[in-house]
DNA sequence: ACTTTCTATGAAAACGTTTACATTATACAT
DNA sequence: ATGTATAATGTAAACGTTTTCATAGAAAGT
């Protein structure tokens, strides 16, 4: 569009380009009246400094890239929204990296930060897409980086997390308190730390209650609705059906409830369902879903803050910032039948 | 991170930086063996060309910016996902602009394209954040731009749309076919074209059926769940309650259904509800929501394609690309009571 | 009155690419 | 053998900023 550059402003207001740059970046260095003159010319022409010229010189892009497996997912969407908001406040732009679970794309977005197109990266997938050399400390080889949601198995990177194990334990304890003893679990994908932690919490709650763990009641899912549907179908075929199901995500819980309705089970009279996340649709389900709330906005905000801290050249105080979860009891869980 | 530049690769493989650049950008111009040598050096060092150097020279950023009111919204999320995918294929990156309905932010993201930080812009809000001069044709003053979802009231810009009026008409016709005559409408926000079109479709269907339009049955909403809840509360207070409600978004329909359940109405036995959008959660509701499907993925893909066409310097064939909607009948609509 | 410090500005280098132009070597046609 | 087209590469300018360094004038300290 506009072809006007800093030099045009400079000549138009009778100063050098250096002064124009200064009026924009460090106004305190330029006298009041020249400043006014320059600002006027800028306003009159609608001049916007070209970012590439600036970036090339300063070696800062002003961008951060966020790598997510699926932005359509309510958890991810909620988080990225907060990230964007926080980034915007700090003058950063966010580059959206929806990986669709393809490694090639993860790599591609990671390259953006090594090629200088972004100054930092937020990773919500369980992989670290940077090749590391073993002869140097990891922290020296990585760009400003924060990891959340799907934990990367590496203790040397900054993370913002919730206590998944305790969250799961709380969920199961809630069911236990209602008298359930036959409690199924629908896990997340693969062997990601978050899923493993939740599984550990599930097991801990049961063993603490002296209930033996029944492998048939533990089903593998992938956090998505469809897998919740399938998991519940499997569970219903069991000779000893569970009276309660703990799904590791709300989406799966919603799927599970759909299956239950399909086969005429009443929730929670026949079977209780509890989820994990508290996405916005959970409270709109019928029955309203009991779940463990993740503070999505807080997670996003803190991710960005920890990243900003690094971008400013500081070392954040701690590697891990842990945020609180919360049991929110609604109507999908009730006392054990009989 | 890495401080290696094109010159390092050049000296390392005994050629000039020009040749290195050529091996990357136009490999056909460099002989096979030098090409191999250069590629080797690049691989060995992990060199990534600095985007700013390149962009500064070529005057192309390789970015597009998408401006949306709320990325948390399933419609927006679905669309942006397809955009990202298509952009990625074409070698573009997408800058996320969640405006949170603030004009300042809209402006900010528009500036990215005028300042060269992005080559094109996709706008999903009803405003055109560019100042135009009246003495020139509009198309000459705008950057590559595509508008969708919330139509901008300007016929000179590229849009991808569905036929909102026909969609609404279809929805209402569906209710009419079920015998309903007292049909409420819950509108979208403000006086955006999309909402106005849907309202027109609603009115047309009714007048065609010789049903008088009752202003009390038309409630203003804002597409969000909360407003669906409130709208339904208003409707239930009416002396002559509607037997069917057409919500201009699924989110509002979902809210409306919640209100209905709260006051013990049966859906659809007492009151039918139909939505608009077909977000993924609609089929998971109880009862499953009847709605008008928007082809979100198609919309996103086409938006990006029309933009790409412009970015390649071509004029897209038509200003408006219209995509088909589809009535999907599920369980939230049924015959009129009695 | 004379140095010293400070303030406001300008000149010019630097950032890392791409590419127009120039150059050389090679193949081809006559 | 001569000239011409072609292929492969190098040289250097250009992109639009920011910032170091230098400079000039003003203010301040003696």
List the CATH number of the domain containing A254: 3.40.50.2300
Kindly state whether residue A219 falls inside one of the protein's structural domains.
Answer: yes
List chain D nucleotides near protein: any atom < 7 Å from a Cβ.
Answer: 7-12, 14-20
Considering CB atoms only, which of B63, B81, B97 is closest to A98? B81
Kindly state whether residue B209 falls inside one of the protein's structural domains.
Answer: yes
Kindly state whether residue B338 falls inside one of the protein's structural domains.
Answer: no
List chain C nucleotides near protein: any atom < 7 Å from a Cβ.
Answer: 7-12, 14-20
Dist. CA B139–CA A269, nearest whole Å: 62
Q: Which of B1, B73, B97 has the highest number of chain A CBs within 10 A, making it the mutation to test binding with A?
A: B1
Which nucleotide has its C1' atom closest to residue A116's CA? C16
**Count of structural domains, chain A:** 3
Dist. CA A124–CA A80, nearest whole Å: 10
Kindly state whether residue A329 falls inside one of the protein's structural domains.
Answer: no
A157 and A168 fall within a common domain: no
Q: Give the model's pLDDT for residue B237.
A: 97
Distance D24 C1' – A81 CA (angstroms): 52
| Chain A hits for B95, Cβ within 8 Å | 63, 93-96
CB contact under 8 A, B114 and A261: no
A91 and A201 fall within a common domain: no
Kindly state whether residue A105 falls inside one of the protein's structural domains.
Answer: yes
Dihedral of the CA atoms B259, B260, B263, B268 (nearest 10)? Answer: -170
Burial level of A137, CB count in 10 A (0-12/13-18/19+)?
exposed
B290 and B173 fall within a common domain: yes
Q: Which domain holds residue A220?
A: 164-295
Q: Give the model's pLDDT for residue A167.
A: 98
Kindly state whether residue B236 falls inside one of the protein's structural domains.
Answer: yes
CB contact under 8 A, A131 and B46: yes
CB contact under 8 A, A114 and B48: yes
A142 and A238 fall within a common domain: no
Q: pLDDT tier at A136 (50, 70, 90 boundaries)?
A: confident
B291 and B317 fall within a common domain: no
Burial level of A235, CB count in 10 A (0-12/13-18/19+)?
buried
CB contact under 8 A, A284 and B286: no
| Chain B hits for A51, Cβ within 8 Å | 61, 112, 115-117
Q: Give the model's pLDDT for residue B1.
A: 46
Which nucleotide has its C1' atom closest to residue A3's CA? D16
Asked whether residue A60's C-beta has any atom of DNA/RNA strand D within 7 A, the reply is no
A19 and A91 fall within a common domain: no
CB contact under 8 A, A52 and B46: no
All residues at 6 or more sequence positions from A289 whose CB lies less than 8 Å from its CB, including other chains? A250, A253, A254, A257, A273, A274, A275, A282, A283, A330, A331, A332
Closest chain B residue by Cα to residue A60 = B52
CB contact under 8 A, A51 and B81: no
Task: Name the stretches of chain B with pLDDT < 70.
Answer: 1-2
Q: Give the model's pLDDT for residue A131.
A: 78
| Chain A hits for B254, Cβ within 8 Å | 281, 284
Quote the mean pLDDT of chain A.
Answer: 95
A85 and A227 fall within a common domain: no
Kindly state whether residue A336 falls inside one of the protein's structural domains.
Answer: no
Kindly state whether residue B127 falls inside one of the protein's structural domains.
Answer: yes
CB atoms within 10 A of CB A38: 25
B79 and B89 fall within a common domain: yes
Helix (H, G, I), strand (E, B) or coil at A153: coil
Q: Give the model's pLDDT for residue B147.
A: 97
Helix (H, G, I), strand (E, B) or coil at B60: coil
Q: Give the model's pLDDT for residue A134.
A: 74
Closest chain B residue by Cα to residue A76 = B72
Q: pLDDT tier at A17 (50, 70, 90 boundaries)?
A: very high
A140 to chain B, closest Cα gap in Å? 9
B127 and B222 fall within a common domain: no
Dist. CA A37–CA B224, nearest whole Å: 47
User: CATH number, domain at B36?
Assistant: 1.10.260
B168: left (phi over 0), alpha (psi -120 to 50) or beta: alpha
Residue nearest to nucleotide C10 (CA to C1'): A16
> What's the rounded mean pLDDT across residues A102-108?
93
Contact A159, A316 (CB under 8 A): no
| Chain B hits for A255, Cβ within 8 Å | 284
All residues at 6 or more sequence positions from A8 whose CB lies less than 8 Å from its CB, including other chains? A45, A47
A181 and A69 fall within a common domain: no
Task: Tell me which DSSP letter residue B27 carries.
Answer: G
Which nucleotide has its C1' atom closest to residue A50's CA? D16
Distance C19 C1' – B90 CA (angstroms): 23
Buried/exposed B87-114: b ≥16 CB within 10 Å, e otherwise? bbeeebbbbbbbbbeeeebbebbbbbbb
Considering CB atoms only, which of B49, B63, B284 is closest to A115? B49
CB contact under 8 A, B285 and A285: yes
Burial level of B263, CB count in 10 A (0-12/13-18/19+)?
exposed
User: CATH number, domain at A21?
Assistant: 1.10.260.40
Contact B130, B141 (CB under 8 A): yes
B195 and B221 fall within a common domain: yes
Give CA separation, B325 vs B164, B178, B282, in Å: 9, 20, 16
Q: Which of B9, B80, B96, B247 has the highest number of chain A CBs within 10 A, making it the mutation to test binding with A?
A: B96
B168 and B107 fall within a common domain: no
pLDDT surpasses 60 at A215: yes
Q: Which of B51, B66, B95 has the highest number of chain A CBs within 10 A, making it the mutation to test binding with A?
A: B51
CB contact under 8 A, B94 and A94: no
Closest chain B residue by Cα to residue A49 = B115
CB contact under 8 A, B49 and A285: no
């Amino acid at each position: 569009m506009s072809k006007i550059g800093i030099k045009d402003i400079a000549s138009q207001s009778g100063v050098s380009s250096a002064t124009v740059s200064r009026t924009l970046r460090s106004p305190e260095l330029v006298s009041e009246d020249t400043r006014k003159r320059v600002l006027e010319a800028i306003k009159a022409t609608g001049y916007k400094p070209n970012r590439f010229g600036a970036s090339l010189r300063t070696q800062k892009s002003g961008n951060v890239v966020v790598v997510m497996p699926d932005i359509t997912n309510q958890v991810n969407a909620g988080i990225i929204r907060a990230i964007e908001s926080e980034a915007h406040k700090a003058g950063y732009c966010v580059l959206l990296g929806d990986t669709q679970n393809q490694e090639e794309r993860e790599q591609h977005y990671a390259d953006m930060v090594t090629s200088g197109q972004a100054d930092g990266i937020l990773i919500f997938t369980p992989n670290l897409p940077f090749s590391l050399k073993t002869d140097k400390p990891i922290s020296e080889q990585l760009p400003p980086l924060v990891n959340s949601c799907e934990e990367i198995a590496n203790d040397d990177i900054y993370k913002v997390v919730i206590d998944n194990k305790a969250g799961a334990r709380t969920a199961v304890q809630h069911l236990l308190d209602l008298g359930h003893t036959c409690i199924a679990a629908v896990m997340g994908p693969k062997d990601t730390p978050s899923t493993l932690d939740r599984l550990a919490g599930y097991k801990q709650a049961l063993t603490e209650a002296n209930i033996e763990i029944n492998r048939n009641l533990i089903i593998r899912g992938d956090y998505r609705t469809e897998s919740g549907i399938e998991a519940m179908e499997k569970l219903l075929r069991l000779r000893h059906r569970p009276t309660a199901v703990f799904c590791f995500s709300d989406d799966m819980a919603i799927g599970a409830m759909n299956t239950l309705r399909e086969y005429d089970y009443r929730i929670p009279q026949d079977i209780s369902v509890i989820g994990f996340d508290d996405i916005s649709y959970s409270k709109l389900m019928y029955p309203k879903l009991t779940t463990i709330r993740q503070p999505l906005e807080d997670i996003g905000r803190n991710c960005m803050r920890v990243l900003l801290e690094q971008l400013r050249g500081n070392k954040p105080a701690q590697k891990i910032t842990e945020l609180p979860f919360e049991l929110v009891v609604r109507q999908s869980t009730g006392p054990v039948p009989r």
